[in-house]
Amino acid sequence: MDALAQSGALESGAVSAVELMEATLARIAAVNPRVNAVVSLSDGDRLLAQARAADNAPRSGWLHGMPIAIKDLANAAGFPTSRGSPLYAGQVAEADDQMVARLRAAGAIIIGKTNTPEFGLGSHTFNPVHGATRNPYDVSRSAGGSSGGAAAALATGMLAVADGSDMMGSLRNPAGWNNIYGMRPSWGTVPADPEGDMFMHQLATSGPMARSPADLAALLDVMTGIDPRHPLSTDSPATLPHIDRAPKNLRIGWLGDWDGAFPYEDGITGISQAAMVQLEELGHRTEALNAPFDADAIWQSWIDLRSFAVAAGLSADYADEARRACLKPAALWEVERGFAMSAQEVQRASNIRSDWFRRATRLFESHDVLVLPSAQLWPFDVSWTNPVEIAGQAMDTYHRWMQVVVPAGLIGLPVVNVPVGFGANGLPAGIQLIGPRGSDGALLQLAQQWHGATHWPQQRPPKA
C-alpha cells in the first residue's frame, strides 16, 4: 500500500498501528539482510509499544502511527547519527533536527535510520560503519546515493515513505535506480536547522521519496514551511490538495547530452527519449534543445562552491590530525580544495551561478519543464568506489559521473525524478523533471499524471 492508503486505513480503523508495525518489522527482517538499507533499527518491543500508544491517542497528522526511518545524516532523538563515519559511529542524538521534528509532529514513529555514504559524499551508498546498500533489482549493483538506503527501503516495501537529502542528485539518482519517485524541492522550502552559517551555502536540501507522487506531495507538505529563524527559508503552498489537477499542453524541453558535454552509457538516451514520446502522448509538446549554457562553466562553479561548503562542514574534523586520518579520500579532496580557495575564486563561482540562473529564468519563459536523465549510467558494481569512465570518457573526479544533476542543483531548482522503465539489462532508470523555482506543485501534478499512465513502482517491484 502507498503511504496515503496506509494512513487512510489507520484513520478508518481497518488497520491498527500495531498491525502496521508488525508488518513493517516482518518485511525488514525478510528483506533487509539482502539489501542493507535500514540501519540502527530500534528494539521491536519498544516500537510495538509506541504503536499501541498511537492506537490509543488522537490522530496528530496524516503520518499518525506510520513507521519511518530517517536518513543517517539527520538527527533523530534517541538514535545514533553515524553519518557513515567511524568518527560519529554510536553517537546518539539528543534532539531531532527540525525536519525530523516535523515528521514526528505529524504522527510518524521513527524506527531507525537509512544508510548513506560517508558524510553523504558520492552517489553510491557504502561506508565503513554500516557497509554497502545493494540495489534490490540486482544485489550485485549499487543502489545509488546518498539517499540509497531510503530508496532501496521504499522499493522493497520496508517503508511506505522516506526522507532524503540532495546536494548532488541524492534524491534523484537513487530514485531512478530503484524505480521510485524522489523530489528535490525548490531550495529554501525545506529549511535547514538554524545553526551555524545560514547565508553562504545554498546547495543541499532535504526532500521526500515515495512510490507515488501523491505520497511525495503529502510528505513534502509536512517538511516545508517557513522558519522565521532561518533567513533564507521560503513559504510554499500545500501541494497535495491539487495533485490530481492534470496539466495540459505543457512545453517540455529535452536537454539531451547538453551538446555532447554529458557522456551516457548505452541505453540511457534511448529510454529517456522514449519517455519524451510518452509525455507527448499525455498531451504535451516536447522539443529538443541546444545546450543553454556552457557546461564547463557550470561544472567549475559547482565543484568550487561544493568544496567551499564541504570544507566548512568538515573543518573541525580536518583540523584534528587524528580525526583527519579517518576521513575518506573524497572528503579530504573536498576539504583541501575548499581551504585552498581564495575569496575571489568563490566569488567567481557565485557569479557563474548567478549568470546561469538568469539564463535559466529566460529559458523558462518559453518552456514549462526541462528534462534530463537522472543518471548518466546504469547501476554499477556495488564493490566500486565510483565509476572512472563512461562510454570511454574518463571521469576526472570522484563525482564527475553525476554531472547531469548539477545544472538544476546549482541554482536551487525543483526537480522530480520519475521512473521510466527498465533497460535490456533489467535495471531501472529515471528522468529529471525540472521546473522554475516555486513550481514544486506543478511538477508534482505532471509526475502524478505520469504515474497514472505508467505505475512503474507497482507494475514492476523488485523480487527481493
Euclidean distance between CA atoms 47 and 54, whole angstroms: 11
Question: What are 249's three cell numbers?
Answer: 499542453
pLDDT at position 119 is 98
Query: What's the pLDDT tens digit per position in 174-196?
Result: 999 999 999 999 999 999 999 99
Instruction: Decide: 203 and 166 in contact? Cβ < 8 Å.
Output: no
Euclidean distance between CA atoms 173 and 167, whole angstroms: 11
Smallest CA-to-CA distance from 134 within 151, 120, 122, 118 is with: 151
If you average pLDDT over residues 149-153, what whole number do you get? 98
Residue 19 confidence class, pLDDT cut points 50, 70, 90: very high
Environment class of residue 297 by beta-carbon count within 10 Å: exposed (0-12), middle (13-18) or buried (19+)? middle
pLDDT at position 287 is 98
If you average pLDDT over residues 96-108, what whole number do you get? 98
The DSSP 8-state label assigned to residue 27 in this structure reads H
Instruction: Decide: 71 and 164 in contact? Cβ < 8 Å.
Output: yes
If you average pLDDT over residues 215-226, what whole number do you get? 97
Smallest CA-to-CA distance from 177 within 31, 27, 373 is with: 373
Smallest CA-to-CA distance from 328 within 116, 82, 90, 84 is with: 84
If you average pLDDT over residues 133-156, what whole number do you get? 98
Coil, strand or helix at 294: coil
Query: What's the pLDDT tens digit per position in 40-81?
Result: 999 999 999 999 999 999 999 999 999 999 999 999 999 999
pLDDT at position 83 is 98
Q: Check pLDDT > 80 for residue 227.
A: yes
If you average pLDDT over residues 203-232, what whole number do you get? 97
Find cell 516495501 and name the residue.
157
Euclidean distance between CA atoms 374 and 409, whole angstroms: 12
Query: What's the pLDDT tens digit per position in 372-391?
Result: 999 999 999 999 999 999 99
Residue 464 confidence class, pLDDT cut points 50, 70, 90: low
Smallest CA-to-CA distance from 25 within 52, 53, 50, 47 is with: 47
If you average pLDDT over residues 385-407, what whole number do you get? 98
What does each C-alpha distance from 309 to 71, 146, 204 come to in angstroms?
Answer: 20, 17, 10
pTM over cut 0.75? yes
Find cell 521546473 and name the residue.
435
Cα-based torsion angle of the residue sequence 26, 27, 30, 35 in order, rounded to the nearest 10 degrees: -140
Average pLDDT, the chain: 98
Per DSSP bridges, beta strands 251-254 and 369-373 are parallel
Instruction: Decide: 269 and 262 in contact? Cβ < 8 Å.
Output: no
Cα-based torsion angle of the residue sequence 104, 1, 281, 412 in order, rounded to the nearest 10 degrees: 20
Q: What is the CATH number of domain 3-459?
A: 3.90.1300.10
pLDDT at position 436 is 98
If you average pLDDT over residues 282-306, what whole number do you get? 98
Euclidean distance between CA atoms 340 and 357, whole angstroms: 26
Residue 34 confidence class, pLDDT cut points 50, 70, 90: very high
Per DSSP bridges, beta strands 415-422 and 181-184 are antiparallel
Among residues of the chain, what percentage have pLDDT more than 90? Answer: 100
Question: What are 407's three cell numbers?
Answer: 545544472
